[in-house]
A and B are shown apart, each in its own frame.
Chain A
Amino acid sequence: MATTTTPTTTKTEKYVGQRLRRREDPRFITGTATYVEDIKLPGAYYAGMVRSPHGAAKIRSIDVSKALARPGVIAVYTGQDTKNVGGVICGADLPGLRKPHHYILAVDRVYFPGHPVAVVVATDKYIAADAADDIEVDYEVTQAVTHPEKALAPGAPAVHPEWPDNTAFVFHQVGGDPDKAFAEAEVIVKQRITSQRLVANPMETRGVVADWRAADRTLHIHTSTQIPHLARTLLSIMLGLEENRVHLVAPMVGGGFGCKLNVYAEEAIVAFVSMKLNKPVKWIETRRENFMTTIQGRGHVDYYELAAKKDGTVTGIKLKLIQDLGAYHQLLTPAIPTLSVLMMPGLYNVRNIKAEVVGVFTNCVPTDAYRGAGRPEATHGIERMMDILAAELKMDPAELRRKNFVGKDQFPFATATGLNYDSGDYAATLDKAMQISDYAGLRKQQVEARKQGRLMGIGLSTYGEICAMGPSPATPAGGWESATVRIEPSGKVTVLTGISPHGQGEETTFAQIAADELGVHVDDITVIHGDTAIVQYGIGTFGSRGTAVGGTAVYIALQDLKDKITRWGAMFLNSEDVHFAGGVVTDNKTGQTVALGTIAAAAYRAMKLPPGMDPGLMATKFFEPSNFTYPFGAHIVVSEIDPATGQIEIRRYVAVDDIGNILNPLIVDGQLHGGVAQGLGQALWENAVYDDNGQLITGEFMDYAMPKASTMPWIESAHTCTPSPVNPLGVKGVGEAGTIGSTPAMVNSVVDALSHLGVRHIDMPLTPEKIWKLVSTHAGSQAA
Chain B
Amino acid sequence: MTRSITVTINGITQTHEVEPRLLLIHFLRETLSLTGSHVGCETSICGTCTVEVNGKAIKSCSMFAVQANGANILTVEGLAEAGGKLHAVQEAFWNEHGLQCGFCTPGMLMITKQIIERNPDPTDTEIREGLDGNLCRCTGYQHIVNAVRSAAKVMRA
Contacts and interface: CB of A to CB of B under 8 A. Distances in A.
A and B touch in the complex (CB under 8 A): yes
A708 B127 CA distance: 12
A351 B102 CA distance: 45
A678 B139 CA distance: 10
Contacts of A35: 35, 38, 103
Interface string B15-32: 000010110001001100
Given A204-B101, A254-B101, A715-B142, A710 B37 contact: no
A204 B103 contact: yes
Contact of A715 (B40, B135, B140): B140
B38 A674 contact: no
B102 A287 contact: no
A443 to B, nearest CB: 27
B138 A30 contact: no
Contact of A255 (B94, B124, B137): B137
Nearest to A710: B128
B42 interface: yes
Contact of A25 (B35, B99, B127): B99
Interface residues of B, number: 60
Contacts of A669: 97, 142-143
Given A37-B39, A201-B137, A701 B46 contact: yes
A740 B39 CA distance: 29
A236 to B, nearest CB: 27
A203 B76 contact: no
Contacts of B124: 714
Given A29-B93, A40-B33, A710-B129, A202 B142 contact: no
B100 A505 contact: yes
A529 B79 CA distance: 28
A126 B40 CA distance: 17
Nearest to A287: B41
B109 interface: yes
A201 B125 CA distance: 25
Interface in A7-38: 21-22, 24-35, 37-38
B137 A26 contact: no
B154 interface: no
A502 interface: yes
Contact of B102 (A252, A286, A715): A252
Nearest to B90: A29
Interface of B: 19, 21-22, 26, 29-30, 33-43, 45-46, 48, 75-77, 79-80, 86, 90, 93-95, 97, 99-106, 109, 124-125, 127-132, 134-145
Interface of A: 21-22, 24-35, 37-38, 40, 124-126, 201-205, 252-255, 257, 284, 286-288, 502-505, 666-667, 669-678, 700-702, 706-710, 712, 714-715, 738
30 contacts: A25-B94, A28-B99, A28-B105, A29-B93, A29-B109, A30-B79, A31-B77, A31-B79, A35-B35, A126-B21, A203-B136, A254-B101, A255-B103, A502-B101, A503-B101, A503-B138, A666-B97, A667-B97, A669-B142, A673-B141, A675-B140, A700-B45, A701-B45, A701-B46, A708-B141, A710-B129, A710-B132, A712-B140, A714-B142, A738-B140
